[in-house]
Structure 1
Amino acid sequence: MSSLSTLAATVAARQEIKKSRFAAFASPVPDESTAKAFIAAHSDQTANHNCWAWRIGQAYRFSDDGEPGGTAGKPILQAIDGQSLDRVAVVVTRWFGGVLLGSGGLIRAYGGTAAMCLREAEKIPLVDTIAATVRCGFGDLALVQARLEAFPGAQLRSQAFTDAGAELSVLVPKDEADNMARMVADLTSGRAAFKIEK
């Protein structure tokens, strides 16, 4: 099981540092296109800089948006990684207040605002899942469905009906797949089939 978490919802934080105003927005993002849409939606075109970072598994991106290289996007990404988060995007917007912060000040301001925002957020543990298919007859369908929906961490993705019964597509916590297969077999006295999708 993964020790990473994601956010439960979009959160925001604001602070002022030496007359510059900083606003951070963070959100859970399942994929790169959602991350890009979130960044576009939360960037303020009236601001001096909209710096951002996101991480989705091994993939990540960040932008300094005109700030000196390495002083904004990378500290935001480090704030995400420092709190063991995944599938998260953060935008930190700066309105310049007339006082130069210097490289160290910018790193602290962007990283600190992002970290403050993320600390405030409700977090949800990420669970490694695998896809599986359950085939069962109509007589077993209601019971199998009820048990699958009650199984911790399992998600029913779709169902299709055949002449003989139903085929349910599910996501199962990786380290619970054997237990779920046993449960399906026990519930139906071996009539239902549980198969991990390749």
Structure 2
Amino acid sequence: MHSYRTIEEIDDTVETLYEIQKSKFITHLRHVDNEEDAREFITAIKKRYFDARHNCSAYVLGEKADKQKSNDDGEPGGTAGNPILEAIKKNGLTNIVVVVTRYFGGIKLGAGGLIRAYSHAAALGIEAATTLEMTPFAQLDVAVSYEHLATIEHYLRQNEIRSLDADYAEGVTLHLLIPPAETEKISEDITNLTAGRAQIKNGDEQLIAIRI
């Protein structure tokens, strides 16, 4: 399981506007998990801005960012889709699709100007989104008596250890989320704090979204 960066999944899309030489560059982006969702988003933006001259796009998918595609949508080759893709890669993001819509203002920007404009427009959109670090955590289920609960909760606060909702019955079962490399140390600490009375069970690893 690998850590990776993506953007927050929200109901609406992120939208930004950049103007240069009377041309308008409108950027939309969204979190997507597969190529079908990416293509559907691109199609939806094209339908929404059907009167625009260009709707250029790029997306990156997969935990290893190994699925990448860009489209110049009529702009000179390499001046639109690739700069958008490079903006995504520069920010180390995956599972994201970006579409930059251009309304031509009547003044030609030239190849270099187009590359800079699409790159900047994409960067503005990415900057406006909330970035998440998808980080592997191992779940540690810790069953303790109420006698030791305050001690363990104090230890968790001191060490900034994340946890899911606890189960309360005759005793308490805490569901801790631990960086995999730290599970052994934290298990030992909890064992020592409870004089060996805690029942500790290792759970599965999972990816947790952390805002950055």
Normalised TM-score (structure 1) = 0.66
Q: C-alpha deviations, 1:69-124, integer Å up to 9, x for none?
A: 43322211211222344454422122233444444333222112112333455655
Equivalent of 2:179, from 162, 167, 173? 173
* Secondary structure in structure 1 of the residue aligned to 2:78: coil
Which amino acid counterpart does residue 100 of structure 2 have in structure 1? Answer: V
Gaps of 5+ in 1: none
The residue number in structure 1 matching 2:208 is none
Q: Distance in 1 between matches of 2:77 and 2:157?
A: 48
Task: Give the 5 Å matches for 1:58-137.
Answer: 58-59=64-65, 60-64=67-71, 66-67=73-74, 68-120=76-128, 123=131, 126=133, 128-137=135-144
Equivalenced residue count is 193
Q: Distance in 2 between matches of 1:131 and 1:41?
A: 38
The residue number in structure 1 matching 2:18 is 15
Q: Percent identity?
A: 32
Which amino acid counterpart does residue 185 of structure 1 have in structure 2? Answer: T
Provide the aligned C-alpha RMSD in A.
4.2
* Secondary structure in structure 2 of the residue aligned to 1:51: strand
Q: Distance in 2 between matches of 1:49 and 1:150?
A: 54
Tell me, yes or no, if the aligned pair for 1:141 and 1:166 is still in contact at 8 Å.
no
Q: Distance in 2 between matches of 1:39 and 1:159?
A: 42
Cα deviation, residue 22, structure 1: 0.4
Tell me, yes or no, if the aligned pair for 1:22 and 1:93 is still in contact at 8 Å.
yes
Q: 1:35 to 1:167 in 2, by over 3 A?
A: farther
The residue number in structure 2 matching 1:45 is 49
Tell me, yes or no, if the aligned pair for 2:148 and 2:194 is still in contact at 8 Å.
no
Q: Distance in 1 between matches of 2:41 and 2:169?
A: 40
Tell me, yes or no, if the aligned pair for 1:3 and 1:84 is still in contact at 8 Å.
no
Normalised TM-score (structure 2) = 0.62
Which amino acid counterpart does residue 108 of structure 1 have in structure 2? Answer: R
Which amino acid counterpart does residue 75 of structure 1 have in structure 2? Answer: P
Please tell me whether residue 185 in structure 1 is matched to residue 191 in structure 2: yes
Q: Distance in 2 between matches of 1:141 and 1:32?
A: 46
Whichever of the two has the greater Rg, that structure is 2
Tell me, yes or no, if the aligned pair for 1:140 and 1:188 is still in contact at 8 Å.
no
Which amino acid counterpart does residue 91 of structure 1 have in structure 2? Answer: V
Gaps of 5+ in 2: 206-212
